Amino acid sequence: MPYFGTLVALQNRGMETKLLVTLLLLSGELLHANVQKNIEHFSKTFTSQNVEISQKPGTSHFEASAKLSSSGKKQIILEGNFEKIEPDVLDLVMCHELGHAEGEFPRKPPRFDDTEIIGDDGFGLYSSEGAADYYATYRCLKYLWKDQENKVVNANNLVQEKCENKFKDIKAAQLCIRSAQAAFNYLDVKPWPEVSFKTPDKSIVQESIIDSYPSRQCRLDTFIAGALNEKRPACWYKEKTPPLETICYSYGYQIDPPPEPSGVPKCRVVGETMYIDGLIDSNILSELTYYHPHVKKLELNSFGGEVQTYQDSVADLYKMADLIRSKGITTNVRKGARCASACTILYMAGAKRTAHPDAIFLFHGLNGGRNDFDTNFWEVCKETGTKDCNKELEEIEKIFISGTEELFKKYVELGASSLIWQEYQTHKVDPNWLKRGNFFKKFDWVMTALEAQQLNVVQSFSFY
């Protein structure tokens, strides 16, 4: 995973790197006096992504740049007279700069100076211009504007037709139109070379453009492709074989975002395979639905996920399982990997389920946490002024016992032998069940891939 490797390299060297990619916008009429609201909204929206907006007002032309610190903070620097920028264009520009800091592929080549941070793959830390343009409309604006009124007055007819044909949902179509129109307005500030929705750049590059801007028309085509969820255009991007690796995002790019995720799964996609190494959270649902719908195989290596709110987390987990099954995705646990807790539901959802004979699985009932549940419960119960904490505990116990029964029914529904539920009920009682919030009171069930095959959890073996 080059992106994660790059962050490690950056942290190990303890340095700060700065990219100054100047976006020059000529001065125009004062369109909105309250663009500050846009900046505040952007900053608030991406707080969990460790984004910070730095403003340096002035009378000169507007410039924007991206900067990534050794702590991982992503800083977007706005300099000059940004009060004269149309608000939607400002959002697009900030999304473009955030795209640089995200390090999506293809990335810029290294400058080989004393301040340059070079990733494990030999490239610089920041996304190329084309990649940043694509990120702006493919990911960033979709999340930034998802709760806004996105209807555009006097929208270009061609763009409107394309977006409405692509997205049957009217809100998604309007967001697409707004994104494309913002891109046109941004590029149309400079009158030459002219850009148009009607005349796409039909050139085909032999190698991806990573050290300079694509043509202005190609940039418009890239923004539109992102808005339409289409591939990066060939006027700047050359697809590699095998396809380049991309990183999954877990910090907020959902169509319907769940509560703040409990962690960041190390998720990446190579070709038609998604690798999930780490925490399971609800964001994987939107990755499979929206950003990587082409995935046909899941490689799992996870100890599960944190239950923050019982109803939300379990409901999302079952939604993920149903989606995986409906798409006919194959699931695999490779040699030396583990699939525990919430991971087992994703694994069982596979239309075809394989595992290396050395793989390990762990099943258990739904629980309320692993660390000092009992202590935390009594403290919270007392603080809330509940009169009968014992009765409250009994109600919680009923919910988790019922949820455990539903969980194992789901395993059977997805193809496991009914013996899995029968055998789990015979396990020894966990004497520390309350401390762990383990209301079904049974020890965790660890099984090898060979044992899992006997219960039809594993259907066949893989040897890698």
What pLDDT, on the 0 to 100 scale, is given for residue 21? 28
Average pLDDT of the residues of the chain? 78
> Looking only at Cα atoms, what is the longest distance across the chain?
76
**Residue among 274, 395, 256 at smallest CA distance from 316:** 256
Ordered by start, the domain boundaries in the chain are 2-227, 246-461
Token pair belonging to 152: 């555009």
Host H or E run for residue 406: helix 389-413
Residue 247 contacts residue 138 (beta carbons within 8 Å)? no
What is the tens place of the pLDDT at every residue in 19-64? 322 222 323 333 345 678 888 889 888 877 778 888 877 666 777 7
What is the tens place of the pLDDT at every residue in 378-417? 777 767 777 788 888 888 889 889 989 999 999 999 999 9
What pLDDT, on the 0 to 100 scale, is given for residue 45? 86
What is the tens place of the pLDDT at every residue in 104-125? 677 776 554 444 444 444 456 6
What pLDDT, on the 0 to 100 scale, is given for residue 183? 95
State pTM to two decimals: 0.52
Residue 91 contacts residue 38 (beta carbons within 8 Å)? yes
The residue to which tokens 């995002």 are assigned? 249
Domain range 246-461, CATH class: alpha beta
Residue 101 contacts residue 124 (beta carbons within 8 Å)? no
Integer angstrom CA distances of residue 363 from 6, 134, 304: 35, 41, 10
Residue 361 contacts residue 457 (beta carbons within 8 Å)? yes
Sheet holding 246-247, edge to edge: 246-247, 266-270, 273-277, 297-301, 330-333, 352-355, 460-461
What pLDDT, on the 0 to 100 scale, is given for residue 330? 97
Q: Where are the beta strands (DSSP E) in 121-278?
A: 246-247, 266-270, 273-277
Distance CA 182, CA 184 (A): 5
